[in-house]
A and B are shown apart, each in its own frame.
Chain A
Amino acid sequence: GAVVSQHPSWVICKSGTSVKIECRSLDFQATTMFWYRQFPKQSLMLMATSNEGSKATYEQGVEKDKFLINHASLTLSTLTVTSAHPEDSSFYICSAGASEAFFGQGTRLTVV
């Protein structure tokens, strides 16, 4: 099946710094990728839809200035958590591929 690679798998950062998470589709081109956030023992919450060559579409309640998304090529989307705070600590997951969405391995972000 298709492979989506996400990097890093975990990151610890200081409060106030920014963190960039990469999502790559390894064997197919993805004009659209999705970014999710998942809290412990909860389901995935869609944050935004990343569109290649255009602005991302954010879900209601998600701060677009806080969570910057860039989809510069057909195989790479990045999520930057700007000025991270402890409440941003979470598991972030990307996906790509229509219908049969394929997910990255996830990134565990801890802000201290």
Chain B
Amino acid sequence: QKEVEQDPGPLSVPEGAIVSLNCTYSNSAFQYFMWYRQYSRKGPELLMYTYSSGNKEDGRFTAQVDKSSKYISLFIRDSQPSDSATYLCAMITAGNEKLTFGTGTRLTIIP
């Protein structure tokens, strides 16, 4: 079993829809949770960073962490074609700099 599970998709939704991306994890030592967006042939770009259970909002993006269920989500509101990319969840234990990535979900927003 992988430490971090993420549905690879692909996921296609119409423009304006709410997108929900999810990851589950098995290691309860993970304390910090990140979501990255990666466009084709580019390096990942940090979107959201959280370390506590609950919601964190930044513009159209909301990151949700449920440590009791070992489940994290990224919601994208009012999705735009420019949101089409691969979204990677990543997590890290305290005192460690090594990230553990999910497989990434390929998202396409259809105009």
Contact = CB atoms under 8 A, between A and B. Distances in A.
B99 A101 contact: yes
A8 to B, nearest CB: 13
Contacts, number: 54
Contacts of B32: 99
B44 A93 contact: yes
A32 B101 contact: no
Interface SS of chain A: helix, strand, loop or mixed? strand
Given A100-B46, A101-B46, A102-B46, A43 B41 contact: no
A108 B46 contact: no
Contacts of B59: none
State which size class the interface on A falls in. Answer: 20 to 34
Interface in A53-112: 91, 93, 95, 98-106, 108
Nearest to B102: A43
Given A95-B43, A101-B34, A103-B36, 6 more contacts: A32-B97, A44-B101, A46-B99, A99-B49, A104-B43, A106-B41
